[in-house]
Structure 1
Amino acid sequence: MDDSEIIQLYFARNETAIEETSKKYRNYCTKIAHNILSNFEDSEECVNDTFLGAWETIPPKTPAKLSSFLGRITRNIALNKHDYYMAKKRNKTFDTILDELNDCLSSPDNVESQYEEEQIAESISNFLLKINEDHRNIFLRRYWYSDSLADIATRFSISESKTKSVLFRTRKKLQLYLMKEGYIL
């Protein structure tokens, strides 16, 4: 079943929408959640919450791309769960990824408003559109999907060392770009 048919099921409030969404996107959403949480049970819980979130959000929203819509819900739920675990100091895996970006981004204490956060997000998006497509995809696989260095290297047929190098250089370029845009880092 294609995405537009699944979305129509949501609008008709037909519970088959959740079943079809699960068939098509369960593995995708589970991978996103597991990359953040490193725990299968918590990942499954996030995926189930994602499907419930989609049910509650469609309608009124009509996602342009269902996979991105579900990926974003999953990622946000997993990040919230990660924050909960970090408060209890239970998960260390995802922290490495966040630490890599610390030099490029200002801390939440330096960001005074949601408007500024949106402006930074827009600047990052603009930066990503300006860089080499492979470097952009490597960056997104690491920092959006939380893929491991080994998974990224395999996906792009490069060494882990090359992957680290691309990520390091891209972070440095991002840092310079944001400084030129007027963000104090």
Structure 2
Amino acid sequence: MAWAGRFKSKDKQALADAIDFYGPDVHRLIKRILAGCGSAEDAEECVSDVFLAAWNHIGRYDPARASFRTWIFLLAKYKALDLRRKLQPELGRTVDETALNMQSGSNTEQEILQREAAAEMLRHIGQLSEPDRSLFLRRYYLYESLDELAAAFGFSKKAVESRLYRCRTMLKQALHRTGEDGRGELGSC
């Protein structure tokens, strides 16, 4: 049975197995995002929060949108970013942005729009051909360095940069087309 099925059937061993299987990679991702803030205990607690969220919210997982692995890594990314904001609340914020957020009553609407945009982005990323899809996800979702990607894929660093640039350009164009006509297909970068 697949991970999602085991989680949905509340197989407690599945949770332990998933932590063993995905835990080290999730921990690395969280440490990258938290780099320079928080403690080792904060990172460990965040890893636990990721798997607890996956367990409690497995009903939200949609295999048509992403693999279980990608879903876990997205949960990890957002949990780590939330923790980073909590540990450094003023990081990247100006006084005007803080005031605007306090005055805004449309946080729910913004959250829904952000989720829809993220789902649309994932749909377009899923249409990229390999190895471009993997390069893109590993760079922008797992925060791997250009050097790591070049070594993993056997490309030069410049080739990785070029492929990622083409992917970003194609995604922008596809998202723009989607906004115009509701479609937007991708090929290879």
TM-score, normalised relative to structure 1: 0.65
CA, structure 1 residues 180+139, in 2 after alignment: closer, same or farther (shift >3 Å)?
same
| Alignment match of 1:32 (pick from 5, 14, 29) | 29
CA, structure 1 residues 86+166, in 2 after alignment: closer, same or farther (shift >3 Å)?
farther
The unaligned stretches of length 5 or more in structure 2 are 93-108, 181-189
CA RMSD of aligned residues (A): 3.5
Q: Quote the residue 1:78 is aligned against.
A: 80
Equivalent residues of 1:18, 1:55 under 8 A apart? yes
Q: Quote the residue 1:105 is aligned against.
A: none
The unaligned stretches of length 5 or more in structure 1 are 91-111
Q: Quote the residue 2:114 is aligned against.
A: 117
Matched AA of 1:82? R
**Post-superposition offset of 1:20:** 2.5
Q: Percent identity?
A: 25
| SS of match in other structure, 1:181 | helix
Greater shift after overlay, 172-181 or 116-125? 116-125
| SS of match in other structure, 2:131 | helix
Give the Cα–Cα distance (whole angstroms) in 1 for the partners of residues 120 and 68 of structure 2: 25
Q: Quote the residue 1:147 is aligned against.
A: 144
Equivalent residues of 1:7, 1:62 under 8 A apart? no
CA-to-aligned-CA distance 1:76-124 (integer Å, 9 cap, x gap): 211211223442439xxxxxxxxxxxxxxxxxxxxx7455435533443
Equivalent residues of 1:6, 1:21 under 8 A apart? no
Matched AA of 2:16? E
Q: Quote the residue 2:44 is aligned against.
A: 44
Equivalent residues of 2:29, 2:77 under 8 A apart? yes
Q: Quote the residue 1:87 is aligned against.
A: 89
TM-score, normalised relative to structure 2: 0.64
